Amino acid sequence: MRLQALAAALNLSLTDLPDPQVRGVTHNADWAGPGDVFVAIRGARFDGHNFLQEVQRAGAVAVLGEGLPDGLVSPLPYLRVPDARAALADAAAALADHPSRALRVVGVTGTDGKTTTAWLTRHLLRAAGLKTGLLSTVGYELPDGQLRHFPAHFTTPEAPQVQRTLRELVTAGADAAVLEASSHALALDRVRGVDWAVAVWTHLSREHLDFHGTVENYFTEKRKLVERARHAVLNADDPWTVRLTGLAGGETTYSAEGEQADWSASEVEEGVNGLTFRVTSPLGEFRANLPMIGRFNVANALAGMAAAAQLGATAEQLIAGLASFRGVPGRMELLAAGEDLPRVIVDFAHTPPSLEKALATLRTTTPGRLWVLIGSAGGPRDPGKRAPLGEVASRLADHAVFTEEDCRDTPLDDILREMERGAREGGQGTFTTIPDRAEAIAWIIGQARSGDTVLLAGKGPEDTLERAHETLPWDEVAVARAALAAWSTPAGQ
C-alpha cells in the first residue's frame, strides 16, 4: 500500500503528500525499518516524537501523530491524526487488508476464565469442522494446531502484530479465529479494527486497578467487546451482565449456577479425572463429559459451547469436542496423580476469587491434605489483593507457602508480609514463607505425601520470572517435574 492510499484509509485529507510504498506500521522506534510508518504516541514515560530522527535513519517514510510539540520539525512527512493509538490500529488493519473480515472471529473477555474458554471454543469449532486459529496469552495457533509464541518483544501483541497474525490465519486457510481480549488490549486499541462475530463474557472481579483506577473503569473497557460484536454470549451468573444486555446485535446467555439462561448445566458430577453434567440448550438436552479438573470449568464449557453453536456447531459435535478436550497449558494442568505420588497441579490462579475457586474445587477430590503455593505481583500492580490472597490460601488449604511472583520494583519482603498478614487475620491453616520460588516448589512437593494435592498457583504458563533487577527464564512445569523426580515419602509420614 502506498502512503496516499493509507492516508485515505485513515480519512485524512492531505495535499502535496509524497507517495512512497509503505511496508508496515509501528509505534516502537526500535522496531522501525525501511518503508515503515512510525506512530508517535505520547505515553506516560516516553513521547514518540523524541525518536523521529532515529526512525528516519532506520528508513521510516512517514509519521502519524496528534501534533508536533512546539519548536519540533519532523524530518519525515507528518500526518496529524485525532488519536494516535486508534491510528496505529486502523493503519495496521488497512495494511493487512482487514483480515478479520474474511474470518468469523470470537472474542473472549472477563477477569478469570478467558484463556480456558478461548481454548475450549477453539477446540469445539475445530470439532465442528471449522479451520480455526487462536490468539491467547499462552500463545497463538494457526489451523495446524501448533502452538507458537510471539518474539520476546511482543509479549503483549500490539495492533500490528494482531492484524499480521490474523492475515497469517487467512493465508493459512482459516475459517474462524478465537481471540482473548484483555482490558489492556481493549483500552489501548490493540484489537481495534477486528470484526467480531461473537463476544463471550465470562465474569468480572477486581483486577488491574493499577491501570484502570476503578472497577467501573475496568468494566467500561471490557464492555467495548460486547458493544462491537454482532452477537454476545453472556454469563447470567455475573451481576455485571445486566449492564451488558442489549449492547450487541443479538445475545445468548448461559448459567452454571441455576440461573435462567439459554444454556444451563445440572446434575454436575466431579471426579478426580474430570466433570460430567447435563446441558439444557437451544440444541436440546444432552449429557456432557469434560476431562478437566474444576467445577468452575462447567461455566467455561457452557460459554464455549454457546459460542461454537452460534457459528454452526451441532449438539453431536459439541459432545464429541468436549470429551476430547485436553486442557490448557498452565490452567489446572495435572502433572502427577497416583497412589505413589502426590497430585501436583499448575494453575494461573492469581486473584483471590480464582484462587478460592481452584482450592474449593481441589478440596472435593483430595483424600489427603491440600497444599498451595502462591505469590503476588509487585510493581504498580494492585496491592490490595495481597492480603486477601494470603487469607484465601491459609483458610482453604491445609498448608500454604508464600513466595515470589514477579516482585519487580516492590521489595519482596513487603509483598510477603502483606500475604502473611492476610493469613494471620483471616486464615485458619498454617503457612510457610520461602522467598525463592524454585526452592519453595521443591519444599512444598517434598513435604507432600501420596494422596495429597499440591496446587502451584499464580504463574501458570508464563515463561519469565521478574525480580527487582533481573528477568529470569521460567518454566513452572519443569521446576515441578524436577521436584517430583526427587520426591519420596517424607520421613515419619
Q: What is the pLDDT of residue 206?
A: 60
For CA atoms 73, 78, 79, 82, the dihedral sign is negative
Q: Say whether 330 sits in a helix, a strand or coil.
A: coil
| Containing structural domain, residue 267 | 99-323
Please identify, among 70, 95, 120, the residue that sits at the C-terminal boundary of a domain: 95
CATH code at position 56: 3.40.1390.10
Q: What is the pLDDT of residue 394?
A: 95
Q: DSSP for 2-70? A: BHHHHHHHTT---SS----B--EEES-GGG--TTEEEEE-B-SS-BGGGGHHHHHHHT--EEEES-PPT
For the entire predicted model, the pTM comes to 0.76
CB–CB of 347/456 below 8 Å? yes
Q: What is the pLDDT of residue 492?
A: 43
Distance CA 332, CA 275 (A): 13
Break the chain down into helix, strand, coil percent, rounded to 5: 35, 25, 40
Distance CA 310, CA 233 (A): 9
Q: For 110-138, what is the mean pLDDT?
A: 92
Same domain, 361 and 291: no
Mind listing the pLDDT tens digit for each residue in 128-145?
999 999 998 778 898 888
Does some domain include residue 492? no
Same domain, 185 and 295: yes
CATH code at position 404: 3.90.190.20
Distance CA 389, CA 352 (A): 5
Distance CA 77, CA 91 (A): 16
Does some domain include residue 490? no
Mind listing the pLDDT tens digit for each residue in 47-73?
999 999 999 999 999 999 999 999 899
**Cα 336 to chain centroid, rounded:** 25
DSSP designation for 324: T
Same domain, 85 and 41: yes
Q: Directed axis angle between helix 386-396 and helix 352-364, to 10°?
A: 10
Is 422's pLDDT higher than 90?
yes
Q: For residue 287, what are the β-bridge partners?
A: 278
Distance CA 265, CA 300 (A): 11
Element (H, E) at 385: none
Same domain, 311 and 355: no
Q: Say whether 137 sits in a helix, a strand or coil.
A: coil
Pairwise pLDDT comparison (414 vs 206), residue with the higher score: 414
What's phi and psi for 400, nearest 5 deg?
Answer: -115, 145
Same domain, 104 and 49: no
Distance CA 161, CA 334 (A): 32
Q: If we measure between CA atoms, which residue out of 365, 328, 363 comes closest to residue 347?
A: 328
Same domain, 299 and 346: no
Pairwise pLDDT comparison (95 vs 339), residue with the higher score: 95
Distance CA 245, CA 207 (A): 23
Same domain, 215 and 231: yes
Same domain, 39 and 71: yes
Same domain, 79 and 195: no
Does some domain include residue 127? yes
Domain count across the chain: 3
Same domain, 445 and 476: yes
3-state secondary structure 57-82: HHCCCEEEECCCCCCCCCCCCEEECC
End-to-end C-alpha distance for the chain, whole angstroms: 70
Our CA dihedral for 302, 305, 306, 307, rounded to 10 degrees, sits at 120
Residue ranges of the binding site for ATP: 110-116
Residue ranges of the binding site: 110-116, 155-156, 182, 190
Burial (CB count <10 Å: 0-12, 13-18, 19+), residue 16: exposed
Does some domain include residue 328? no
Q: If we measure between CA atoms, which residue out of 422, 442, 425 comes closest to residue 434?
A: 442
Lowest mean pLDDT, pick from 146-155, 183-192, 394-403: 146-155
Burial (CB count <10 Å: 0-12, 13-18, 19+), residue 9: middle
Q: Directed axis angle between helix 297-310 and helix 114-127, to 10°?
A: 40
Is 84's pLDDT higher than 90?
yes
Is 428's pLDDT higher than 50?
yes
Please identify, among 95, 111, 126, the residue that sits at the C-terminal boundary of a domain: 95
Q: How far is CA 47 from CA 31, 243, 446, in A?
A: 16, 36, 50
Same domain, 126 and 47: no
Place of cell 509464541: 149
Does some domain include residue 143? yes
